[in-house]
Amino acid sequence: MRVVLVDAGGTNIGSVRYALQRLGTDAALTADPARIRAASHVILPGVGAAGPGMRRLRDAGLVEVLRGLTQPVLGVCLGMQLLCERSEEDDTECLGVVPAAVRRMPGAPGLRVPHMGWNTLRATASHPLTEGLRERDTAYFVHSYAVPVGDYTLVSSEHGQPFSAAVGAGNFMGMQFHPERSASVGAQLLRNFLSL
């Protein structure tokens, strides 16, 4: 197994890498298209805004590389949002491999945005990525934009309204939460991804 972390400047790269090491997997950090194409599993981590995130991928010549991958690909946090078609954040065109648009989370009295902290996960589709996910399992979130629930939703959560906590479209999957900060639940889902 050759797992790579796409070096797109995400500040969560170190913690994702450490979480994989705890599972016995040493993932190479790279922006080299050849190494990414040759990997068995590709993880696109990310923290920050959609516009700068896509700009880093474009500057590194990775947009078409990522769109063309056929092996399992996992986007984490911003990385999941970048898999979608568009984001309202900076009105950004994204990778377009998941048929969804990213929307700003609506605020309301007593409802804080960004959504930060632990929240309940609810599996909405049977998928190898979500194997072993139990009712009332929780994960750790930090985000102001979210993917609405749709046919691509594997796991949902709720913050004022339902949103996609995990998505899947073919070989492309994403987790809005931080699996590397979500204790045993996050470790299980990362283990599931590595077993694909």
Q: Which two tokens stand for residue 44?
A: 């696109």
Quick check: is 115 catalytic? no
Indicate if the alpha-carbon torsion angle 6, 67, 190, 89 is positive or negative.
positive
d(CA 160, CA 179): 22
Rg, C-alpha atoms of the chain:
15
* Nearest partner of 27 among 19, 38, 37, 17, judged by Cα: 17
Q: Is 178 a catalytic residue?
A: yes
Nearest residue to 71 via CA among 21, 12, 17, 1: 1
Which among 136, 149, 151 is positioned nearest to 176, based on CA atoms? 149
Residue 158 three-state SS: strand
Residue found under tokens 């298209």:
33
Could you give the CA distance from residue 16 to residue 58 in angstroms, rounded to a whole number? 22
Strand pairing of 98-104 and 122-123? unpaired
Our answer to whether residue 88 is catalytic in this structure is no
Catalytic site residue from 115, 143, 159, 178: 178
Is there a contact between 186 and 139 (Cβ–Cβ < 8 Å)? yes
Choosing from 89, 94, 143, 180, the catalytic residue is 180
Among the listed residues 41, 64, 77, 131, the single catalytic one is 77
* Residues assigned a catalytic role: 77, 178, 180
